[in-house]
Chains A and B, each alone.
Chain A
Amino acid sequence: MTKQITLSHVDKTYIVGEKPLHVLNDINLSIKEGEYISIMGPSGSGKSTLLNMIGLLDRIDSGSLVLENTETTALTEEQRAKLRRNSLGFIFQNFQLISRLTALENAELPLVLAGIDTSKRAEIVTKLFESLGLAERLQHLPKQLSGGQLQRVAIARAMVMSPKILLADEPTGNLDQKSGKDVVAVLEQLNLQGITLIMVTHDHELGARANRQLKMVDGVIVCDSGTSIEKDTKNEVA
């Protein structure tokens, strides 16, 4: 398997009030194509920030981030947006669906942004909805769908551009146990099809299902099952 994402000496600091808050400290991480990675850690440990950095939603302060053989630090905002659109799929804890749009319209948004024709868009989304068991829900508004269905619509939206990397931030956080399991099953199925899956979760059981588990504390990866790295830390991993 070839390297798909490489982070070298990545730092990120936010200014909170007047004090600097080091959210990521010297992160070095290499992710290969098709990996299934879970990122765990206590609140404020930097796991979502790390996911946002990999997803190009935020900029790193120093170091380098290579995504699909592209060094991203020097890219313009427009180039980063297009890379996000074409190579990455996002799944959020609170689904992030637009309430006035139907399930179909929500799912096809990345295709709309990419300028794909209406008929082609409908074809892609319908196929995905069928595979996700949502064929009857195309014209439903988000308020007419259950939590599990909402997250599956969000998965469809993440998948319409056929990305090679899927980034999921607490994808089961707002779901009941059964819906959560269904969603995880869908994600794992996608991973089996060769898509790299990086998932942030608080759920140990869910995190343990990943082939590679990262544990973060205070902006540092303290444990990486893929490389057997384990660092000492003052704080306990939750």
Chain B
Amino acid sequence: MKWRDSWRYSAQVLLRHKARTVLLSFAVAIGVSSVLLLTSVGEGARHYVSSEFASLGSDILIILPGKKETSGGSIPFYSTTPRDLTIEDAQAITHLSSVKSVAPVILGTALVSHQNKSREVITIGSTQDFLNVRNLSLTQGRGFSQKSVDLAESICIIGSQLKNDLFGRHNAMGQWLKIADRRYRVVGILEERGESLGLDMRDMVIIPIRSAESLFNSPALFRILIGLKPRQDEQLVKQRILTLIKKRHDDEEDITIISQNAMMSSFDRISNFLTVAIGVIASISLVVAGFLIMNVSYISVSKRQQEIGLLKAIGATANEVRIIFLTESALLICFGVCLGLATGYTLAALFNQFIPSFMLIIPWWAALASGLMSFIIGLLFTWLPAAKAAGQDPVSAMRGN
């Protein structure tokens, strides 16, 4: 029997039993689209976080005060040996040749007010490099000059939402506002970007680092952000920074350096694992579809006993009978997979249309794997009914026994 004839013969059976074909195709389609949609949530989350990291800029190191380490005793525990990072530490780092920009950061919250409007907002003290390292740009005004930073000028850059809340439609540039009990002149307004790793860029104020030092009455830095020159050996730069700070901190290694790339690759690994895990869970529905196909195939074999008997009587080999049933299953799965792919991609596109802030991204491997798995599961589950059909004795099959 030629393949083309086998496909045609099976297609005729499926067309004859339209309701059965449609329902089983739906079962496979639901399985396939579940895999696509669930993995697309995982992949979308990975993409979302990756783009958040990317919005910070690339090739960035973050220095935190204190070193996380495991120390003594039978039960290990984490301890920290905090020692303040200072602006001078940041200035020392700027002398390293691989470093492009260094942004010391002081972070706090303060009451920001203008005329009769006021609210608590996150206040960041830093330098112009903060804008460079975090890829922030201004819609109006300018950044901080080195002079304004060194002289702790009373100037500030504000987020777009804070500008709207405090100044409404009026021009905020050159206006004065109060942060705690001090007056600052607005010299720049941040471009609208939204949240970035939990920090709402629309609702914050940035002041020169020395001003923040004075405002919060503390020289301790919250972080130092370091932008590297292109194509630097990250590990080597980290080692150099560690050595430098250790020397400055009385030979004590009391800082932690986080690499953005390392964080991203760790996150990538975790999210990839989670996406695959979600896909595996979703593929349970494919196994359920497989059982349905098996069940219906058994019914089909017993209802078509006379046909099987006849085929064998007129010279069909057991293998040809088996192939007829497996081809039917393959065709059915083919319909189901196509329907599932179409449904999955359509639903993802609709979701993305209505909620563009979180994109569902269907990984190519999920589409491929769900299709392949459907075929493997479908054919495996049809194997037993097909073998039953192939093993039928022609005489008793024709009698319907």
A→B interface (CB under 8 Å)? 52, 55, 57-58, 77-78, 81-82, 84-86, 90, 92, 96, 98, 100-101, 105, 109-110, 112-115, 157, 161
Contact = CB atoms under 8 A, between A and B. Distances in A.
B306 interface: yes
28 contacts: A55-B313, A57-B313, A57-B395, A58-B394, A77-B317, A77-B318, A78-B318, A78-B319, A81-B316, A81-B318, A82-B315, A84-B313, A84-B315, A85-B315, A96-B306, A96-B313, A98-B307, A98-B310, A100-B16, A109-B310, A110-B314, A112-B1, A112-B5, A113-B316, A114-B315, A115-B5, A157-B314, A161-B315
Contacts of A110: 314-315
Q: Give the interface centre of A92, A100, A113 by most chain B CB atoms within 10 Å.
A: A113
Nearest to B12: A100
B358 interface: no
A81 B16 contact: no
Interface residues of B, number: 25
A113 B12 contact: no
B393 A113 contact: no
Contacts of B307: 98
B9 interface: yes
B304 to A, nearest CB: 9
Interface in B293-336: 306-307, 309-320
**What secondary structure prevails in chain B residues at the interface with A?**
helix
B274 interface: no
A57 B1 contact: no
B317 A82 contact: yes
A210 to B, nearest CB: 23
Nearest to A88: B315
B29 to A, nearest CB: 25
Nearest to A115: B2
A86 to B, nearest CB: 7
A81 B13 contact: no
Given A96-B306, A98-B310, A112-B9, A86 B315 contact: yes
A85 B315 CA distance: 4
A32 to B, nearest CB: 24
A51 to B, nearest CB: 10
A75 to B, nearest CB: 12
Nearest to A79: B317
Contact of A92 (B311, B318, B398): B398
Nearest to B1: A113
B310 A58 contact: no
A109 B12 contact: no
Contact of B315 (A96, A101, A113): A113
Interface in B261-277: none
Contacts of A100: 12-13, 16
A109 B394 CA distance: 16
Contacts of B1: 112-113, 115
A76 B1 CA distance: 19
A6 to B, nearest CB: 22
A10 to B, nearest CB: 16
7 closest residue pairs by CB, A with B? A85-B315, A100-B16, A81-B317, A96-B310, A84-B315, A78-B317, A112-B5
Contacts of A90: 313-314
